[in-house]
A and B are shown apart, each in its own frame.
Chain A
Amino acid sequence: MSAVQGFRLRLRAQPDFRVDLSPLQPAVLAGLDVVEVARLELRHANAHVELGELFDIDALSSEAPELRIEGDLRRFDRIGQGMDGGRLSVSGDVGDYLGAAMRSGDIVVEGSAGHLAACEMAGGRLEVRGDVGDFAAGALPGSMDGMRGGTLVVRGKAGARCGDRMRRGTVLLLGDAGDFCASRMVAGTIVLAGSVGTHCGYGMRRGTLVFAGPAPDVPATFAETNHDIRVMWALLSRSLSKLHPAFEGLPGREPRRVVGDLAADGKGEWLIAG
């Protein structure tokens, strides 16, 4: 029989303090046996705890590296941080830093995620069926760059500073965005199906925001342009329409284009679908 590729982890009881789950990488765990996985050391507040003390662990008969985590993981941070390959799914809510700096692979969270989800994400696909907190697809505190590749899909709402300092990749946000969405954005694409809070695009230098839902108020530091963008729009809207049913109607809608933030380079664009 070939080595075990995947595991199912069921949370037994809530830990006393916050736990760092970053060692749980599907590709790293593949090949270990259940006993070895149970012995993995996790940071628990200022001390350590073994994975087996918190979770019931079963082997999965999957072909590729996979991890299925079941339970309410709001006290568990850094799930899928730096993940490079494999599949990871969580049945409930998760803590902060979900998929931070992940490079490839697939993460699906059925519940909501805390702050800094997908921050500095570089590749792969991350889907959150619930809401995300502040700084989703943003930068870790002090860093120059936020998300730099891959796709983040959020079905619910996003907190403040979504896409802060983002410089590549795609964010699809089906719910509403909080304040300062796309602040200090350098490049990349954010597609919004809901409304945005105040100061959207604050300090935005380049990058693209597509408004598929309600039209936003255009701030004073953004200016209307009359460029012919029909070809570009045809390509962009068609590719977006394939990503999610909510964007299926986009190719048929004529967009308005404004650029900004003129207080900071001003090469960012908002495509407001008519």
Chain B
Amino acid sequence: MSTIRLKGGRVYDPANGVDGDVRDIGMRDGRIVALHPQEEVDHEYDVSGCVVMAGGIDLHTHIGGGKVNLARMMLPEDHRANRQRDPLLELASNGCCTPGTLETGYRYAQMGYTAAFEPAMLAANARHAHMEMGDTPILDHGAYVMLGNEELFLEMLARGEDFERIRDYVGWSIDASKAMGVKVVNPGGISAFKFNQRKLDVDENHVHWQVTPRDVVHTLARALTELGVPHPLHIHASNLGVAGNIESTLATIDALDGLPGHLTHIQFHSYGKEGPKKFSSATRQLIEKVKAAPNVSIDVGQIIFGQTVTASGDTMRQFANADLGSPRKYVGGDIECDAGCGVVPFRYREQSYVNALQWAIGLEIFLLMDDPWRVVLTTDHPNGGPFTSYPHLIRLLMDKSFRDEQLARLHPDVAASVDLREIGRELSLYDIAIMTRAAPARLLGLADRGQLGVGAAADIAVYREDADRQAMFATPEYVFKDGRLVARQGRLEAVPVGGTHFLETEFDPGIEKTIEKYAQRHLSVSYRNAKIGKDELCSCANGGALLACKVHGRRGGK
């Protein structure tokens, strides 16, 4: 196998405490190795004047599953603009906010990202999600299975089933769908929507099952802790997008009761109802709470102005948003009583008071949170904006004057009043390396990713130092995936198949009887077909590597 040396780059590797030291990085057989300075190598790249980081990891991006396809169908115009492409390696694929699978892989890799995780995989639709991600080249991928709204779970919770049985059910679901974690979307709310509830607060009862979102969140978080799942419960909290929803968000953090939880696209959950428009920023309340709760991590879900599409499992909220669609289209659905789906195209406008404030709230969260290890950089692709806007977002965070320029274009009432004006903080390259690499890897339990220590996977992005951070992060000089050069100055060099991250959980297989009985009575798909085996996962994943992740073995307490 070939040996590669990256010579003389400034290395940012927060997982190992390396902050801009000039040093060489060696690679052999897809892994990072320590090379003697005199050792002969097959390829040496002079990367002086460049910044070296681990490959980016996006822990929340909708890149696989039914809603992504619906979004593609609803925005045909997004696929019509032909981008100039490399005729040798790139196959035809298009789209910006609803990119095809190929385009997703190409564009992420060209930006220096090497892994992406689909946060909302329906158990009933897991095969499709894995196939779609398997069709996404270059990137490693994984998905979180959506629990907390399916009939069986709510029924078990409602009838006071032993916690151990519920825990086994969660373990079984992760194993059957080959997930990397568990996401709960509007806890209990998607189900409540089907019982004609149009909102569900954290302590409000589901009219039929008589359980509250608080019960759902706590039960799932406890189950994951006891199963030893590395990624904390991925929570899309109640009342997404509603003015005053900060109350639900704080209550959801309380519901965790000290258990690990990851509150996703938190920007959409940080709204107060002060001011003339009864819509205000509640960033300070949120940050105060999160600072005091070390069990909580967040990703932001920054909005980016322009056309995008919101694709969510949250049928309840998306139904309420349907009229705001632009172009005016909407799809909502229920899938096997498992979970929901709502897709609404949307255009974020600078001159909209609400959108402008959402933009400012997202940035405030990034800048006010003191611990970057608990904040992950996302736009909740495509819900806040396409992932291709990450370089723009990074510049907003690193460049106060650029931020002020953008701020001046917003709705005047927002531009004149937001806290963001007063925040002078500019994130450092070290902070960015944490938020886009080290923190997501740590939150996912990926020991050998998101870092450049000896033995780690050789997923590396090399950026040419440039005062314009947007240009710098948009087009890395070199991108390596498992030690192979995949992109050079924005052009693809190789298109390998990515691997699939999934968890191997332990649970009492006796739970399968309960699941089988339920499936026979209520579902259209046989229980025997619900489980995805490893061979099948391999074929779903296009023959890519199966990257099994062990659980912590924290079962039965710490």
Contacts and interface: CB of A to CB of B under 8 A. Distances in A.
Contacts of B327: 144
Nearest to B74: A142
Interface of A: 43, 46-47, 140-144
A47 B82 CA distance: 12
Nearest to B72: A142
Contact of A143 (B77, B85, B92): B77
Contacts of A43: 82
B481 to A, nearest CB: 24
A46 B87 contact: yes
Contacts of B80: 140
Contacts of B92: 46
A135 to B, nearest CB: 14
A46 B82 CA distance: 11
A143 B329 CA distance: 11
B78 to A, nearest CB: 10
Interface string B66-90: 0000000100110010100101000
A47 B374 CA distance: 45
A230 B77 CA distance: 42
Contact of B76 (A46, A47, A140): A140
A143 B79 CA distance: 12
A141 B76 contact: yes
Interface of B: 73, 76-77, 80, 82, 85, 87, 92, 327, 329
B373 to A, nearest CB: 43
13 contacts: A43-B82, A46-B85, A46-B92, A47-B87, A140-B76, A140-B80, A141-B76, A142-B73, A142-B76, A142-B77, A143-B76, A143-B77, A144-B327
Contacts of A144: 327, 329
Nearest to B88: A46
B201 to A, nearest CB: 37
A246 B82 CA distance: 41
A21 B139 CA distance: 35
Nearest to A47: B87
Nearest to B92: A46
The 8 closest A-B pairs by CB, nearest first: A142-B76, A46-B87, A47-B87, A143-B76, A141-B76, A142-B73, A140-B76, A43-B82
A140 B77 CA distance: 9
Contacts of A46: 85, 87, 92
A248 to B, nearest CB: 41
A143 B77 CA distance: 8
A43 B76 CA distance: 21
Given A46-B87, A142-B73, A144-B329, 12 more contacts: A43-B82, A46-B85, A46-B92, A47-B87, A140-B76, A140-B80, A141-B76, A142-B76, A142-B77, A143-B76, A143-B77, A144-B327
Nearest to A45: B87
Contacts of B329: 144
Contacts of A141: 76
B331 to A, nearest CB: 13
A243 B356 CA distance: 51
Nearest to A43: B82
Most buried by A among B76, B85, B92, B327: B76
B92 to A, nearest CB: 7
A253 B116 CA distance: 68
Nearest to A41: B84
A131 to B, nearest CB: 26
Nearest to A20: B82
A140 B329 CA distance: 17
Contacts of A47: 87
Nearest to B77: A143
Contacts of A140: 76, 80
A121 to B, nearest CB: 16
A228 B76 CA distance: 43
A141 B73 CA distance: 10
B93 to A, nearest CB: 12
Contacts of A143: 76-77
B233 to A, nearest CB: 37
Nearest to A101: B80
Contacts of B85: 46
A143 B327 CA distance: 11
A144 B92 CA distance: 24
A141 B78 CA distance: 12
A142 B72 CA distance: 10
Nearest to A22: B82
Nearest to A142: B76
Residue in A140, A142, A143, A144 with the greatest tally of chain B CB atoms within 10 Å: A142
A198 B550 CA distance: 62
A140 B75 CA distance: 12
A142 B327 CA distance: 13
A191 to B, nearest CB: 29
A187 to B, nearest CB: 17
Contacts of A142: 73, 76-77
A141 to B, nearest CB: 6
A144 B80 CA distance: 15
A43 B85 CA distance: 11
B495 to A, nearest CB: 15
Nearest to A141: B76
Nearest to A143: B76
A181 B82 CA distance: 31
B528 to A, nearest CB: 37
A43 B73 CA distance: 25
A143 B74 CA distance: 8
